[in-house]
Structure 1
Amino acid sequence: MAFEYIQQSLAARKEQTLLRSRVLVQHSNARSITIAGKSYLNFASNDYLGLADQSLEGNHGTTGSRSSALVTGYQQVHKQLEDRLCELLGYESALLFSTGFSANSSVLKALFNDSAPLQNCAIFQDKLNHASLIDGALQSTAKHIRFNHNDMGHLRSRLEKSAASNKLIISEGVFSMDGDKAPLEALFKLKQQHNAWLMLDDAHAFGVVGEHGLGSCERYHEKPEILVITFGKAMASQGAAVLTSKAVADYMLQYNRDYIYSTSMSPLMVDAARFQLERLVKADNERAKLNENITLFKSLAEQASIALMSSDTAIQPVVLGSAENVLNAQRALQQKGIWLGAIRPPTVPANTARLRITLTAAHTHDDIRFLVQQLEGLL
């Protein structure tokens, strides 16, 4: 069975009295701490000056969590956010990270560490995946195999040639530089056929894709074995979460060095993320307005003969080829009062430098018309 070594490793850790687990902190400050209803003097905090005790006006969360999650940094507010995410997205467990980059890269380094059977582990990764996923794979012990962007035939060929017992396919839900979506139905089918797992980075889909904004997988009964969402995009907050099974989460507590050795996410930011999450779930009108704006932009761009990539998301790139062309276009648009990102290699492949347009629900129709008019005059 694929990834059977996870359960075996956890059992070995338990037998060796080395199994790590989190302690839920009900209340704490620099001097005292309450766990399971009992209060203690707190000598396990890194809040050296006691400054985390002061909460910001109108917010119940303190600024500092005072420790790593495996010491005394795992508090009620962290668990509440984890539980809510699991409820919404259909997972057993969640782990919170301060950044999406850390979440992505550290999961791969931890999943394929020295305890994994080296010759039997392989990562199959879309060539346009985010740098955090590439870096994590390169720092892992697994064989790293890349397939052409959204090319399921190429992925199938790669899977068929692999003798690895533990295969992990990795994709983004919405690709950050092209704006197109992963072919999830085909990915689910391939992972089943080849006894593989799927990891999905849904940073640019969570909040905006799906009937209720729950991301790329909302309309599917099947879920990726590992789902990563970030709070800094549509949620307009900060941080990230890894959602998975209890066994994989427990495995991360043993081997994920970023999680184990980092002070846990600030309760203030967790509280803000919880607040923003509930706003996001109810933001049906905003999602409708965003989709309306995307449709309008694409229609006006077609009328103006502006070549777009095959994206129906908020990310709408206009490829200009050379870095010089993109920088010149960016400067010209700035003079007209428009600010766009100029994305150049190595962030994108050679000769595909682009203007990266990101649409929001806050844009008016007049804003979009003005943008297209200026693009048409420039291009």
Structure 2
Amino acid sequence: MSWQQRIGQALAERRASDGWRQRPVIDQQTTRTLHSGGRCYTHFSSNDYLGLTRHPAVIAGWQQGAEQAGAGAGASGHVTGYHRQHAALEEALANWLGYDRALLFISGFAANQAVIHLLGEKNDRILADRLSHASLLDAASHSPAQLRRFSHNAPESLAARLAAPCDGETLVVTEGIFSMDGDSAPLAALAEQTRQARGWLLVDDAHGIGVVGEQGRGSCWQQGVKPELLVVTFGKAFGVSGAALLCDATTADYFLQFSRHLIYSTAMPAAQAAALQAALHQVQQGDELRQRLQQNIQRFRRGAASLPWQLMNTDSAIQPLLVGENAQAMALSARLAAAGCWVSAIRPPTVPPGTARLRITLTAAHQPEDIDRLLEALHDAAG
């Protein structure tokens, strides 16, 4: 089969399954509203959980950083790209989260890939929650280590995997709050089992950092767990982008010496690091925002309890409404859009077949009338 035939067949299959992906052109958006195609929608698909992406202090931090250091880093951090703004952000993150060191990455995807790419060797094993993010599973599947999945949020399933013999090291992988189901991992149980097996635990807390725990320190802090490797990302509650790996000093030195993702990538702009320091300050002082977010979550869950679709059991900002088939999810998304609510439909392969859903995300920026508008549109669609 030629390249053209292979590509054509894959595209035809994607269209036939109602799984065709499109990138909508967005004219303008805030955390609360989105403008596209000449219309304004109430926005329920943003991961900007605290509404910081347009916070004046965050924007000012980026502007001041750009004035001082320019728009880009200009090189890898191992050449001339490591600015004092990067060093200050890494130190602040490490102190805040209780680790020796923090290492910055350009994205959460890159951070997860870097960790597994560097650590996994032949005879090692990676035991991953089967609903872990694609960045984790993709890296593990291409690692020389053996990948085995354990049942979602099931410590007993992990225990069974750990009981099998292994000639090398063991890395257990999970998320703090899962991106598509919105539920939380039982981190204390997973950490204890991993410790008993003399393995390391990697937690991707992209959707927990900034939102849960004291000062928004995340899922691990909330559950009293300190994994050997913690990845936090800045494209959600921090309102910016990028990521960091938290670890001990020796592991950080190992990554600085051998991680190709760090050595051969241009560093994030120093201006971005300055904006992230401003965002970190807002996150640390954000108890009122987190309280408002929880109020919005509870308002939505109360109003959605009588809907005919399954609302997954989670008190996180991610409120998945399980629809089932792809076409039905797309139709419901379109119905809500006609009512002025932007809610993206999530379909396989992002989620398992038969579990297409509306991934409703709530934020501290939403007002009560926004929640009520969405609930009214959902009840109208159900009728």
**TM exceeds 0.5?**
yes
SS at 1:218 equivalent: helix
The 1-side partners of 2:195 and 2:252 are apart by: 22
Superposition deviation, residue 306 in structure 1: 4.9
1:61–1:271 contact (8 Å) kept in structure 2: no
Superposition deviation, residue 319 in structure 1: 0.7
Q: Which residue of 2 aligns with 1:35?
A: none
Structure 1 57/166 Cα, relative in aligned 2: closer, same or farther at 3 Å?
Answer: closer
What are the equivalent positions in structure 2 for 1:146-157 lying under 5 Å apart?
146-157=149-160
Q: Which residue of 1 aligns with 2:23?
A: none
- Code of the residue aligned with 1:138 in structure 2: it is S
Structure 1 222/322 Cα, relative in aligned 2: closer, same or farther at 3 Å?
Answer: closer
Q: Which residue of 2 aligns with 1:70?
A: 78
Select the residue among 203, 206, 209 that pairs with 1:206. 209
Q: Which residue of 2 aligns with 1:291?
A: 294
The 2-side partners of 1:64 and 1:243 are apart by: 24
Greater gyration radius = 1
Stretches of structure 2 lacking an aligned partner (at least 5 in a row): 1-60
TM-score scaled by length of structure 2:
0.81
What are the equivalent positions in structure 2 for 1:93-242 lying under 5 Å apart?
93-112=101-120, 116=121, 118-119=122-123, 121-242=124-245
- Code of the residue aligned with 1:105 in structure 2: it is Q
Stretches of structure 1 lacking an aligned partner (at least 5 in a row): 1-54
Superposition deviation, residue 193 in structure 1: 1.7
Q: Which moved more, 1:138-147 or 1:85-94?
A: 138-147
The 2-side partners of 1:67 and 1:162 are apart by: 44
TM-superposition CA deviations, 1:168-222 (whole Å, max 9, x none)? 1000000000000000111111112211110000000000011311100123444
2:107–2:242 contact (8 Å) kept in structure 1: yes
SS at 2:266 equivalent: coil
Identity %, equivalent residues: 44
Superposition deviation, residue 58 in structure 1: 3.9
Give yes or no for the alignment of 1:349 onto 2:352: yes
1:170–1:198 contact (8 Å) kept in structure 2: yes
Structure 1 330/305 Cα, relative in aligned 2: closer, same or farther at 3 Å?
Answer: closer
TM-superposition CA deviations, 1:22-68 (whole Å, max 9, x none)? xxxxxxxxxxxxxxxxxxxxxxxxxxxxxxxxx97544442222211
Structure 1 316/92 Cα, relative in aligned 2: closer, same or farther at 3 Å?
Answer: same
1:207–1:215 contact (8 Å) kept in structure 2: yes
Give yes or no for the alignment of 1:301 onto 2:309: no
- Code of the residue aligned with 1:94 in structure 2: it is A
2:64–2:271 contact (8 Å) kept in structure 1: no
TM-superposition CA deviations, 1:114-170 (whole Å, max 9, x none)? xx4x22x11000111111001111222111111111111111101101324411100
Superposition deviation, residue 363 in structure 1: 0.9
The 1-side partners of 2:63 and 2:362 are apart by: 32
Q: Which residue of 2 aligns with 1:363?
A: 366
The 2-side partners of 1:154 and 1:333 are apart by: 39
Structure 1 361/254 Cα, relative in aligned 2: closer, same or farther at 3 Å?
Answer: same
The 1-side partners of 2:251 and 2:63 are apart by: 38
2:309–2:323 contact (8 Å) kept in structure 1: no
Give yes or no for the alignment of 1:338 onto 2:346: no
The 2-side partners of 1:212 and 1:301 are apart by: 29
TM-superposition CA deviations, 1:262-292 (whole Å, max 9, x none)? 1111101111111111111111111000001
Superposition deviation, residue 106 in structure 1: 1.4
TM-score scaled by length of structure 1:
0.82
1:318–1:357 contact (8 Å) kept in structure 2: yes
The 1-side partners of 2:107 and 2:300 are apart by: 31
Q: What CA RMSD, in Å, does the superposition of the two structures yield over aligned residues?
A: 1.5
The 2-side partners of 1:57 and 1:145 are apart by: 45
Q: Which residue of 2 aligns with 1:321?
A: 324
- Code of the residue aligned with 1:77 in structure 2: it is Q
2:171–2:199 contact (8 Å) kept in structure 1: yes
What are the equivalent positions in structure 2 for 1:20-39 lying under 5 Å apart?
none
